[in-house]
Amino acid sequence: MRLFFTILVGLCLVTGCDNQDNSTQLISNENFLIIAHRGASAFAPEHTMIAYEIAHQAEVDYIEIDLQMTKDGVLVAMHDEKVDRTTDGTGLVKEYTLQELKQLNAGKWFNEEYPGLANREFENEQVPTLEEIFLHFGDEVNYYIELKSPRIYEGMEEKLLALLKKYDLIREGQDLPKVIVESFNEDSLTNFHALEPTLPLIQLFSFKEKAALSHSDYKRLQAYASGIGVNLKSVDQDFIHDAQLNGLQVHLYSLKNEIDIKNAFHLDANGVFVDSPILSELILKEES
> Between residues 79 and 178, which has the closer beta carbon with respect to ligand G3P?
79
Residue whose C-alpha is closest to residue 272's, from 261, 285, 282, 283: 261
Beta strands 179-183 and 201-205 are parallel
Question: Measured from the CB of residue 64, what is the shortest distance to Ca ion in angstroms?
Answer: 6
Partner from Ca ion, ligand G3P, none binding residue 273, C-beta < 5-8 Å depending on class: ligand G3P
Residue whose C-alpha is closest to residue 158's, from 200, 194, 134: 194
Q: Are 153 and 68 spatial neighbours (Cβ–Cβ below 8 Å)?
A: yes
Question: Measured from the CB of residue 8, what is the shortest distance to ligand G3P in angstroms?
Answer: 27
Q: Are 43 and 279 spatial neighbours (Cβ–Cβ below 8 Å)?
A: no
Strand partners, 146: 66, 182
Which residue minimizes CB distance to ligand G3P?
Answer: 253
Residue 13 CA to its chain's centroid (Å): 26
Strand partners, 250: 228
Running DSSP on this structure, what letter comes out for residue 65? Answer: E
Question: Measured from the CB of residue 29, what is the shortest distance to Ca ion in angstroms?
Answer: 22
> Between residues 66 and 125, which has the closer beta carbon with respect to Ca ion?
66
Running DSSP on this structure, what letter comes out for residue 282? Answer: H
Which positions are catalytic? 37, 79
> Between residues 62 and 218, which has the closer beta carbon with respect to ligand G3P?
62
The residues that touch ligand G3P, with contacts defined as CB under 6 A, are: 37, 66, 79, 146, 182, 204, 229, 253-254, 273
The residues that touch Ca ion, with contacts defined as CB under 5 A, are: 66, 146
Partner from ligand G3P, Ca ion, none binding residue 157, C-beta < 5-8 Å depending on class: none
Question: Measured from the CB of residue 66, what is the shortest distance to Ca ion in angstroms?
Answer: 5
> Between residues 61 and 146, which has the closer beta carbon with respect to ligand G3P?
146
